[in-house]
Amino acid sequence: MPSLETPREKNRALVLLAMTQFMIVIDASITNVALPSIGADLKIAQADLSWIVNAYTLTFGGFLLLGGRLADLVGRRRMFIVGMGVFGLGSLLGGLAGSESFLVGARALQGLGAALVSPAALSLVTTIFKEGAERNRALGVWGAVAGAGGAAGVLLGGVLTEIDWRLVLFVNVPVAVAVIVAAPRVLLESKADTDVTSFDIPGAVTVTAGLALLVYALVDAETAGWDSSTTILRIAAAVVLIVLFIGIESRTKHPLMPFSIFRLRTLRGANIAGMLTGMSLFSMFLFISFYLQYVLGYSALKTGLAYLPLSVVIIICAGAASQLVTKVGFKPTLIGGLMLVAGGLFWFAQIDPDGGYVTHVLGPSMMAGAGLGFTFVPVTIAAVTGTTGEEAGLASGLINTSQQIGGALGVAILVSISTSRIGEFAPAAQRSHEALTAGYSRAFTVGACFAVVAAILSLIIISSKDSKEQVEAAKRGEAIPAAA
């Protein structure tokens, strides 16, 4: 397989891939601040606004595993370019939308493009950069831009919404075009070294349908009701489809997802940690925005600017995390990052109806941001450690899927918990600052508990031996041998 040889060639590829991932992550949160403006312009009821975000999350989470395997079998650069084309088209159509259904459909198309791009991009990083210190540095850059994407999305969304909410979507179009033009010149094609020519269509259909239905059930549970027959039937159907997928994969000669990849203990632990991290962190950005706008009365622009310190801290700490992983290993770095996340969220839980940005937001956001930087990088490194080149796309799709499913589950659970707490107040007081703050505070507390559980399970499941071997291999400039 051809490879990029010089540091300059590799750095050019990394810049392109990291910039793309930054845009993909941003789009999961950039519309949050714009929702009130979108609703007013397109006459969308407040109860339906969440689907502008959910449509993206639904298709992104549902198609990630398929996107990762397609990258391995069809070609990583090819799927990267195709995905960027789909993403750019969805962004263009979304910016032109004149109705709710058109906009939701365009956001779903964006999510599909993102599901093709994201695992292809991460697997390209893992195949371009040699495992060890070189890959750790690359994933440090990747983690910095991707980890900051959630916060930067709110910042950029606030700035653009002040001009016109459609710019939140249009801004992606020139970037997508530039990436598509640059990719053939900067990236080399790579795919799994295999003679597989057939594609596991039944497996692809069942796992994509199962994951998409599961995400849909989770994000709509607050509206339909957690104990409603609709939610229960959706989750049950999703479980049946996923079980059917497992049965298909165990009998297929060339499965979409070879279960042999789960022989890696560290990969299993990293994906569990990734899911719980998504559960604790994805909703953090949502509730910070709610507190700033609905309690403190911030405008969209001011809310976006309030995220600037958080974004800076994430970038700095993600860069430091790559160096720390090389020195002490991904396991202790990950556990330390998760405890910082938990500390930041517990600190956020102390918000006050009469609080202020400096007293109740700045400190905890910087602690949680530091935790995110020290978590995102090691969990990604752990998720691909010891995998073969043929498994790069699959491993990348798995960790992305874990984080997205975790994010959808976390938002669904924490929004339900927050709403329930707000509902304990008298009907006339449920829109008061006191009621809203009480609801957000409880959500932050439960989110912190998710992070603590992630740290405990990482301590138990992730292999200390793999973590130490990664440090030794980095010192020698070698890769950890793939597990047999």
**Per-residue confidence (pLDDT) for residue 477, from 0 to 100:** 61
Across 133-142, 206-215, 254-263, the highest mean pLDDT is recorded for 206-215
pLDDT confidence tier of residue 484, bands split at 50, 70 and 90? very low
C-alpha 277/C-alpha 383 separation (Å) is 14
| DSSP 8-state code for residue 446 | H
* pLDDT grade for 1, boundaries at 50, 70 and 90: very low
Residue that has been written with the tokens 């959630």 in this structure: 150
Report the pLDDT averaged over residues 151-166: 80
Could you give the CA distance from residue 64 to residue 53 in angstroms, rounded to a whole number?
A: 17
Yes or no: say if 344 and 367 are a contact pair by the CB < 8 Å rule: yes
Measured CA distances, 345 to 27, 280, 388, 457, 483 (Å) = 23, 8, 37, 19, 37
Digit-coded pLDDT (tens) for 408-453? 788 778 888 888 888 888 787 777 889 899 999 999 999 999 999 9
- The amino acid sitting at 150 is G
Residue 2 has pLDDT above 60, yes or no: no
Structure tokens at 173: 């179009």
H or E segment at 245?
helix 229-251
- Contact between 278 and 447 under an 8 Å Cβ cutoff? The reply is no
Mean pLDDT of the chain: 84
Q: Beta-carbon neighbour count of residue 180 at 10 Å?
A: 17
pLDDT at 479: 54
For the stretch 8-38, pLDDT in tens is 888 888 889 888 888 887 776 677 777 778 8
Pick from 19-23, 92-96, 343-347: least confident: 19-23
In angstroms, the CA 1 to CA 5 distance is 12
The stretch 320-336 carries a mean pLDDT of 89
Q: Residue 79's pLDDT band (boundaries 50, 70, 90)?
A: very high
Instruction: Please report the pLDDT score of residue 194 as a whole number.
Output: 64
CB 51 within 8 A of CB 35: no
Residue 176's contacts (CB-CB under 8 Å, 6 or more residues apart) are 23, 84, 85, 87, 88, 91
> Residue type at 13?
A
Beta strands in 195-237 (DSSP E): none
The Cα diameter of the chain in Å comes to 67
Q: Which pLDDT does position 197 carry in this prediction?
A: 56
Measured over the CA atoms of residue 166, residue 431, residue 309 and residue 272, the dihedral's sign is negative
Write down the pTM of the prediction. 0.79
Per-residue pLDDT, 444? 95
Give the pLDDT mean for 43-53: 75
pLDDT in tens, 269-324: 999 999 999 888 877 877 888 899 889 988 877 887 888 888 888 888 888 888 88
Q: Is 192 helix (H, G, I), strand (E, B) or coil?
A: coil
For residue 71, pLDDT beyond 50 = yes
Rounded to an integer, what distance in angstroms lies between the CA atom of residue 153 and that of residue 179? 19
Pick from 103-107, 264-268, 385-389, 467-471: least confident: 385-389
Sign of the four-CA dihedral 394, 406, 145, 56? positive
128, 132, 136, 137: CA torsion to nearest 10:
-70
